[in-house]
Structure formats: C-alpha cells, structure tokens
Amino acid sequence: MTGTLYGVGVGPGDPDLITLKALKILRTTPVVAYLAADAAESLARAIAAPHLPGGQAEVVIRVPMRTDPTPGQAVYDRAAEELAAHLEAGRDVAVLCEGDPLLYGSFQYLLNRLAGRAEVRVVPGVTSLTAASAAALAPLASRNDALAVLPAPLDAGVLRDRLRAADAAVIVKLGRHLPKVRAVLDELGLLHRAVYVERVSMDGQRILPLAQVDGPAPYFSMILVPR
C-alpha cells in the first residue's frame, strides 16, 4: 500500500483563495512538501500556514534561485527520492504549490518522476492570472478572443509576434524584463491598454497603468493587456 501524492494548488496569495478540496487534503495529510528558494521562506507554505493543523512532517525542497529560475534537475531527483520514501511507507504526501500546480509550476518535475511509483492527484488552484484580472476589474477575454499567456523572458521579437497573434494577453515572470516588455507594448500601440499588477491578493498589492511604471519589477508581478 503506497501513499498518494497530491499536488495541491493553494492559490495566488490570499489564504482565503484556497479551495475546500485543497483545505481537506491539508487538514488530513501527514506529510507536506514545498519549494523554497535558498534560505527564503516558501510562499506556498506561508499561504497554507493558517490552514495546517500542526503535527505534520514537512519536507523543504531547497531550490537555488537565479533571476530566471532553472534549477538543475538534480534538485528534483533528490526531492522525488525523499517523497518516494514517505509514499512507499504508506504515507500520503501533499506538495503545496502557489497558484496552480501545473501552470508554470514546479510540481510537474515531481509528477514526471513519481507518476509510475505512486498514485498522483492534482488539485487545481486559483491562478495569479485570474486573481490579477479580478483585482483590476479587467476582464481577460470574452466571446471569441484569443488569449496569450507569455513569459517575459522571451526575446522581444518573439513577444512581438505572439502579441500580434492574440486579442488579449497576460505577461508573467516580469522581474528585470519589464523595460523590454514595456518597449514592445509601446511599439505595438498597446501601452495604453496595459495594466501592471504586483503581489496580487497579498499585502502590498499594487495595481496601476503600465505607462506609470519604470525599472525592473519583483518576481511576483505581471502585466494584463485586456482586449
């Protein structure tokens, strides 16, 4: 009898944006795991904190963060082995994931490694995309709009082409790429429509026209380009 591996979306930041389904798993699972950058606190752990009953074992997966996080696969190899030991001992494991586990989430690297060794279930979560749209009261797409979700690290030329092939867009993973993205949007005549959203649903949330934003942005920020 092996345990079940759960990928649990805990939402974009506000602990009240967790689902009942995620909550039930957090309250009953004996092992929780989560990623944390170097010595930093884990955002997923912080979001889940008010909901954890206490007494569960915790596995911290330390990921070396660079400006664009592309940690070596060895981190996930080791983490998968640590989780496998719990699963093979019959203990369910919940991996806490900010936003949704499978939309730009690292859970997929654990899923790839453990899918053949234990039952895996994924609980979808509210993404920062829809949370930003809600906070800004800016509809993302309607009717037959094509919506593009684009990571800011893409080359300016690629971003330009992808934006031209969409009616509306969300640009994620901003960080130091904000000036480049802003220039591309300006060139395409889209700057006046673009909304900058930082730390959505968390303390310090900021929403303002992109035209008023200069310089680099924190990692937890994005740009909405509604139709």
Site residues (CB under 8 A) for a copy of itself, limited to 24-63: 24
Of 13, 18, 43, 63, the one binding a copy of itself by CB under 8 A: 18
Shortest distance in whole angstroms from residue 147 CB to a copy of itself: 4
Amino acid identity for residue 65 in this structure = M
| Residue 42 contacts residue 60 (beta carbons within 8 Å) | yes
162-201 footprint of a copy of itself as x/- string (CB under 8 A): x--xx------x----------------------------
Work out whether 21 is an interface residue with a copy of itself (CB under 8 A). Answer: yes
Work out whether 71 is an interface residue with a copy of itself (CB under 8 A). Answer: no
Work out whether 3 is an interface residue with a copy of itself (CB under 8 A). Answer: no
Amino acid identity for residue 106 in this structure = S
| Residue 193 contacts residue 166 (beta carbons within 8 Å) | no
Longest dimension (CA), the chain: 59
Q: How far is CA 59 from CA 36, 62, 76, 79, 211, in A?
A: 10, 9, 13, 8, 42
Report the alpha-carbon distance of residue 196 to residue 79 in Å, rounded: 35
Work out whether 143 is an interface residue with a copy of itself (CB under 8 A). Answer: yes
Work out whether 118 is an interface residue with a copy of itself (CB under 8 A). Answer: no
| Residue 117 contacts residue 87 (beta carbons within 8 Å) | yes
Closest CA relative to residue 179, chosen from 209, 224, 217: 217
Work out whether 119 is an interface residue with a copy of itself (CB under 8 A). Answer: no
Work out whether 74 is an interface residue with a copy of itself (CB under 8 A). Answer: no
Work out whether 147 is an interface residue with a copy of itself (CB under 8 A). Answer: yes
Closest CA relative to residue 114, chosen from 136, 140, 93: 93
SS3 69: coil
- The contact set with a copy of itself (CB under 8 A) reads 7, 9, 11-12, 14-21, 23-24, 70, 100-105, 108, 111, 115, 120, 122-127, 130-131, 133-135, 137-151, 153-154, 158, 161-162, 165-166, 173
